[in-house]
Structure 1
Amino acid sequence: MTVGEKNRTTASTKMNTNSSRSHLLLRLVLVSYNSVSKTTTRGSLTLVDLAGSERISRSEATGLRLVEAAAINKSLSALGQVFSSIRENSLHIPFRNSKLTHLLQQCLGGDAKACMFVNVSPLDANVPETISTLEFGMNARQVALGKATTHVTKTT
């Protein structure tokens, strides 16, 4: 956690005095061994805090902040494309289009379950961002993931 916190970048923009400039992923891998049945159960929990999308014209980001905002927006767009591809049962899901989607492949593909919380601003001035965020959430909500399964291996 300490290393992750040191690597996390926040900075001030016109829209947010303490704006996250990166996504945060924390993956917990859990392994349980049952000595009676001689089985090992594996699972993982991935917690993700997505950096918010920004309209450059409103945040007035320049220099490094502009580069960060472009990267954040690009990765969120790639995540939206993954949601759309899964929802449409596409033969190809573009998980490798960004580091974010590649890291989330295990969570969004196959036998996983996902839960998303969407945070929006109550301010009238932020209505365009709120609408964009809600549309992103609605796109994600329409994704039907497969049935979650238990991963158990028997040792002899």
Structure 2
Amino acid sequence: MSKINMVDLAGSERASQTGATGVRFEESKHINQSLMSLGVVIKNLCALAAGRSDQGPTPYRDSKLTMLLKDAVGGNCKTVMIATISPADQDYEQTLSTLRYANRVKSIRNKVMANVTKTDEFIKELLEEKEALLAKLNDRRKSSIGYSEEG
């Protein structure tokens, strides 16, 4: 089974820069809270990758974003993060923050392995048995045809 998550975490959510008020301000607060929760999850996973397990359980349930990305950041998968930055002087702090975030994500190590269920294994065994039986049947047919032609 394959799954792809595409999440755009881009954009300035600083109220002072965006001038957001009212509903937009409330929305930016929720976005910032989700990003903070994702940062905590990433920090925890980095600590686990470094062999430090003193962080406690990874807090995926702290936001909807981390619940959605649970499989992508800490599961049995391969994950790619693309960080876009701005060359503008006024975006220096945000660019630096983005690069630090991406650097932390880079240190997460997932153990990827094929998802095989007992049903999959059973089906594979049955298919192998079917092939073996078909090969025997073909051998018998060939030997019986060869026998009758000689006689």
TM, length-normalised to structure 1: 0.66
Map residues 1-156 of structure 1 onto 2, 5 A cutoff.
42-89=1-48, 90-146=55-111, 148-152=112-116, 153-154=120-121, 155=123
Percent of pairs with identical residues: 36
Distance between the aligned counterparts of 1:62 and 1:134, measured in 2? 28
**Aligned-pair RMSD on alpha carbons?**
1.6
Counterpart residue type for residue 81 of structure 2? M
Q: Is the 8 A contact 1:43 1:150 kept in 2?
A: no
**Following the alignment from structure 1 to structure 2, what is the Cα–Cα distance between the partners of residues 46 and 86?**
19
Deviation at 1:53, TM superposition (A): 4.5
Instruction: Give me the whole-angstrom Cα distance separating, in 2, the residues matched to 1:113 and 1:126.
Output: 30
Deviations 1:28-59 (A, max 9, x none): xxxxxxxxxxxxxx222222222434221111
- Bigger strand fraction: 1
Unaligned runs of 5+ in 2: 49-54, 127-151
**Offset, 1:76:** 0.7
Q: Which amino acid aligns with 2:99?
A: L
TM-score scaled by structure 2? 0.68
Flag structure 1 segments of 5+ consecutive residues without an equivalent: 1-41
Separation in structure 2 between the aligned mates of residue 135 and residue 53 of structure 1, nearest angstrom? 16
Larger Rg: 2
Change (3 A) 1:116 1:48: same
